[in-house]
C-alpha cells in the first residue's frame, strides 16, 4: 500500500499558541495562516508487510530519535483508526531551508497525512487530511489548503471538529523571511506553548486577543484590505511573544537582530511602504508585504539579514 502527497508550508497571521489537549493537538483558539509558494515537502508512504518497524527518511537520510518517535506515535493512532497492521516507510523530500525559520513540520505532516490516507484508501477529503495532519503538528492542519486558511479550534473531545478550511485566495500577499540566526532554536514551539499555557499569567488574555483579532482579520479579508489584515497580524504576533515572555522561565525567541529588522520595517512603513512583521517560535522575522513593495523590503533588509527568502501565496495539498 503506497501513497504520495506534496504540501507547502504556511505562516500564521493569527497564531496557534496553546493546546487544550496535547495528544491530539487540540488548540485553545482558532488560527489563521497564509500558505507559501514553493516551500514544500513531498512524501511517499509505504505500508509494507515485510517491514519490521516504521522508518523515516528525510532528504535521503535515515532519521531516528525524537522525530521517528513522534512519527511512530502518529502512525500508531493512524493504524488503529484504519485497521492497518503493517509498519510504514515514510520518505520525505523537502526544499525548505532549515535556516529560514519556516516550519517544515507544517508541510511534512500535511503531506504525511495525505500520503498515508491515500495509501490505505481512507477518507481523503481535505477536511479529514487536515484532521490527521493536525495530530502530527497543529500548524500542519492549515497546509492542506492554499491561500488564506482558518483552523477552527472546535469543541469536541475527539477533535472531530478541529480542522482547517480555506478563507480566500490571499491574492497579492508576499512574505519576505529575514533570517536573523541559523542556529537551531532553543525552545521548540511545542515546549514553548505548553510552558506559556501552564505558567504565563497573561495567558487568559491571549484567548480574548485571538478572538478579537480573528474577527478583525475576517472583516479585513472580506473587504480585501491587506493593510488592515497585516496590521492585525503584526499586533497578534507581538501579543503572542508578550504572553510567552511572561512564562516562567521566560519563553523568549526574539533577539537583537530581530528588533533591528522590526525597526527597519517600521521605518519603511513611515516612508509609505505596505510592510508589517510577524514572528514565530524563533528569532527570524517574516515581513508581510505585497509585490509593489517586496523589492524595496528586500533591498533595505539585505544589509541587516543573514539571508532573505521571498515567497508568494501557495496552493494546497497535491
12 interacts with ligand DP6 by CB under 6 A:
yes
**Beta carbons within 8 Å of 125's beta carbon, 6+ residues apart:** none
For ligand DP6, the binding residue among 103, 112, 115, 173 (CB under 6 A) is 103
309 interacts with ligand DP6 by CB under 6 A:
no
Q: What is the dihedral of CA 111, 27, 193, 233, to 10 degrees?
A: 80
Nearest residue (CB) to ligand DP6, 23 versus 295? 23
**Beta carbons within 8 Å of 116's beta carbon, 6+ residues apart:** 3, 45, 47, 75, 78, 88, 122, 132
Nearest residue (CB) to ligand DP6, 115 versus 279? 279
189 interacts with ligand DP6 by CB under 6 A:
yes
The minimum distance between CB 300 and ligand DP6, in angstroms, equals 25
Q: Count interface residues toward ligand DP6 (CB under 6 A).
A: 14
25 interacts with ligand DP6 by CB under 6 A:
yes
The minimum distance between CB 38 and ligand DP6, in angstroms, equals 18
| Residue nearest ligand DP6, CB atom distance | 138
For ligand DP6, the binding residue among 9, 29, 31, 289 (CB under 6 A) is 31
The minimum distance between CB 174 and ligand DP6, in angstroms, equals 19
Residue range at the interface with ligand DP6 (CB under 6 A); choices 94-102, 133-141, 265-273, 300-308: 133-141
15 interacts with ligand DP6 by CB under 6 A:
yes
Binding footprint of ligand DP6 on the chain (CB under 6 A) = 12, 15-16, 25, 31, 103, 105, 137-139, 189-190, 280-281
Amino acid at each position: 500500500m503506497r501513497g504520495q502527497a506534496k504540501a507547502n508550508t504556511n505562516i500564521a497571521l493569527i497564531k496557534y499558541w496553546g493546546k487544550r489537549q496535547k495528544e491530539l493537538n487540540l488548540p485553545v483558539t482558532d488560527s489563521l495562516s497564509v500558505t507559501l509558494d514553493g516551500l514544500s515537502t513531498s512524501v511517499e508512504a509505504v505500508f509494507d508487510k515485510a517491514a519490521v518497524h516504521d522508518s523515516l527518511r528525510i532528504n535521503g537520510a535515515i532519521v531516528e530519535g525524537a522525530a521517528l518517535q513522534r512519527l511512530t506515535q502518529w502512525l500508531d493512532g493512524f493504524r488503529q483508526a484504519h485497521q492497518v497492521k503493517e509498519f510504514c516507510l515514510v520518505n520525505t523530500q523537502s526544499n525548505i531551508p532549515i535556516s529560514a525559520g519556516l516550519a517544515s513540520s507544517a508541510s511534512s505532516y500535511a503531506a504525511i497525512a495525505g500520503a498515508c490516507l491515500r495509501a490505505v484508501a481512507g477518507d481523503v477529503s481535505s477536511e479529514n487530511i487536515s484532521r490527521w495532519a493536525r495530530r502530527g503538528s497543529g500548524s500542519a492542519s492549515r497546509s492542506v489548503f492554499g491561500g488564506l486558511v482558518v483552523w477552527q479550534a472546535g469543541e469536541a473531545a475527539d477533535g472531530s471538529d478541529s480542522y482547517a478550511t480555506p478563507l480566500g485566495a490571499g491574492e497579492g500577499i508576499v512574505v519576505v523571511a529575514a533570517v536573523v540566526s541559523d542556529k537551531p532554536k532553543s525552545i521548540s514551539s511545542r515546549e514553548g506553548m505548553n510552558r506559556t499555557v501552564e505558567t504565563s499569567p497573561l495567558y487568559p488574555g491571549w484567548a480574548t486577543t485571538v478572538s478579537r483579532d480573528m474577527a478583525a482579520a475576517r472583516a479585513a479579508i472580506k473587504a480585501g484590505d491587506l493593510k488592515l489584515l497585516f496590521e492585525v497580524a503584526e499586533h497578534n504576533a507581538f501579543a503572542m511573544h508578550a504572553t510567552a515572555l511572561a512564562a516562567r522561565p521566560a519563553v523568549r525567541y526574539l533577539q537583537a537582530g530581530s528588533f533591528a529588522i522590526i525597526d527597519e520595517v517600521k521605518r519603511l512603513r513611515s516612508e509609505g511602504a505596505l510592510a508589517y512583521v510577524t514572528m514565530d517560535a524563533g528569532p527570524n522575522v517574516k515581513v508581510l508585504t505585497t509585490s509593489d513593495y517586496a523589492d524595496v523590503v528586500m533591498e533595505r533588509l539585505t544589509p541587516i539579514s543573514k539571508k532573505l527568502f521571498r515567497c508568494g501565496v501557495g496552493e494546497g495539498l497535491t
